Amino acid sequence: MTRSNTQVAPHVSPPRVEETPTQRLDRLVHAAAAPVSGSLSPISLALAMADWAWHLGVSPGRQMELAALATQLTRDALNTQARDEADAAADDDPRFRHEAWGHWPFSQMRAGFRNTEAFWREATRVPGMTAHHADLARFFARQWLGVMAPANWLATNPVVLQDVAQSNGAHLLKGLHNWMADVSGVPTPDDLAQQDRFKVGRDVAVTPGKVVHRNRLVELIRYDAQTATVHPEPILIIPSWIMKFYILDLSPENSMVRYLVSQGHTVYMLSWRNPDASDHDLTMDDYLKLGVLDTLQAIGHLQDKPHPVHAMGYCLGGTLLAIAAAALAKAGRRGVMGYSDLPPLKTLTLLAAQTDFSEPGELGLFIDESQIGFLDNITLGQGYLSGKQMAGSFQFLHSRDLVWTRRMREYLMGEREQPNDLMAWNADATRMPARMHHEYLTSLYLNNALATSSYRVDGRAVSLADLRLPVFMVGTERDHISPWRSVYKLHHLCDAEMTFVLTSGGHNAGIISEPGHAHRSYRIAARPAHGPWVEPEEWAAQATPHEGSWWPAWHQWLAKQSSRKQAARATPAHAVLGEAPGEYVLQRYAD
């Protein structure tokens, strides 16, 4: 058997074009603005606001409509007679549901703020604006209003004032300590105790397994069998490179990996290396070659007999896997990027993974030429996009819950949120190499190259229409990163047999939905190969609803696509490079 731990050289990237002194000056100026703007392009916002201002300026009729609306909403806010505790409890904004918001003067503050929100929702709708600029104007109006919400401030939040009085200021003092710890970067003793609750390899990522392959970009983990017999076709899991793999192997009770192994599957997991400045020139082709093709070859070397592979990808890992599957389908025996003897793919499972980026949800707000250029100026100097810089964009999407409500409770009421395993994983951020980051934003988000069959692998265009293997897709109802209607669009891009699941929850919690998890539900329906197109809303109305986790439905689908079980095999001793969870997952950086 060929050893699968051979170091494989990365794909040779085109040489970097050296920047001139004037280009370097521009880059440094733009990069210096990043900490102030939250790594978001101020030019994109300025263009959107200019578009709004010019179109509103030449629309006197629209101005009259907005003036009338402002007058009406102001009168409504000043009329506090009907505002009581029941009115506050019925508010659809959870920040204002406490009964204290029904008492004057806080009822008037709440009404004024909510009416201001209503005004700006309408005011940013001006005919003639480009759709992208209109979305940006609405988004940033929402952000600024979020900053000014009366719930965020000590003097205007009755719930905080009550807490200060009841605790004799002790909670406010504790909140001050929390704020000082966050600003200084020196955690409090309580923070240190919480940080140690979920340690990788001790509390999370504890499913037994072996590292069987390593190259400069990934480690491959083969998990130990937990049943006497297993299906001969293994499962290869490709997580997104913007996350640590152990979201799929959290605590034992909610580990997807442990669940699959316990059902009689041999599971391989890819663990991405956390890149540093030396990796700045890694490309999307490198990630495809070292992340997918090289690991498929390693799995082939470990098999005693050739078996096809069930491939599963999560988020951008699913997008990369779809690219690989399309490239392999087109290449046939010729192979891809020098890999010609790979185990074939038996099925394809895509979890919250987009293949058509024409409607990518609110993340699309941050994708235009100006924003990509701004990010390039940041990453070229560093060699990568840091985890904190990336996290800032995701926090903007849900700033009310992820920023302002959280900080209000931590700094004004002294209540640190108690972390769970998913939150601990979310704080374990990763980087992205500069060149790969530029390529994936430009080719996938900006140009939508994969959906238009113009995405190139090793210089050759690939098409999702070449996919013929059965596909299992999962979308989540409240996904702001990969909206389920966008995930669903693969139905329109290829004629393969498809089973689609729409599950409750968001991008992460909807996927980590183990059997027995309370308040979980899903809908499922299958389309035969070459079946007719069904619109997402029509699909949702027709799909069969179920209570509980979608994991058993996926396992049953995999089992149906697999051969009869056979005796489980241990990992060959000569292939073992170390114990799971490996070394790469432990790499962390301060940024």
- First-to-last C-alpha distance (Å) of the chain: 42
Task: Cite the beta strand spans of 198-253 per DSSP E.
Answer: 209-214, 218-223, 229-230, 235-238
Burial string for 43-76 (b: 16+ CB within 10 Å, else e) reads bbbebbbebbeebbeeeeebeeebeeeeeebeeb
User: What distance in Å separates the CA atoms of residue 327 and residue 289, rounded to the nearest whole number?
Assistant: 11
Quick one: which of 584, 583, 579, 586 has its CA closest to 222? 579
CB 313 within 8 A of CB 353: yes
Token pair for 186 = 């020196």
Backbone phi, psi, residue 7, to 5°? -75, 125
Separation of alpha carbons 189 and 185, rounded Å: 13
Catalytic residue among 141, 164, 260, 315: 315
Q: Where are the beta strands (DSSP E) in 51-165?
A: none
| CA-based nearest residue to 77, from 119, 42, 37 | 119
Question: What does the radius of gyration of the chain's CA atoms come to, in whole angstroms?
Answer: 26
φ, ψ (nearest 5 deg) of residue 456 = -115, 135
Give catalytic status of residue 494 as yes or no: no
Helix axes 42-57, 131-148, angle to 10 degrees: 100
DSSP, collapsed to helix, strand or coil, labels residue 66 as helix
SS3 at position 131? helix
Annotated catalytic residues are 315
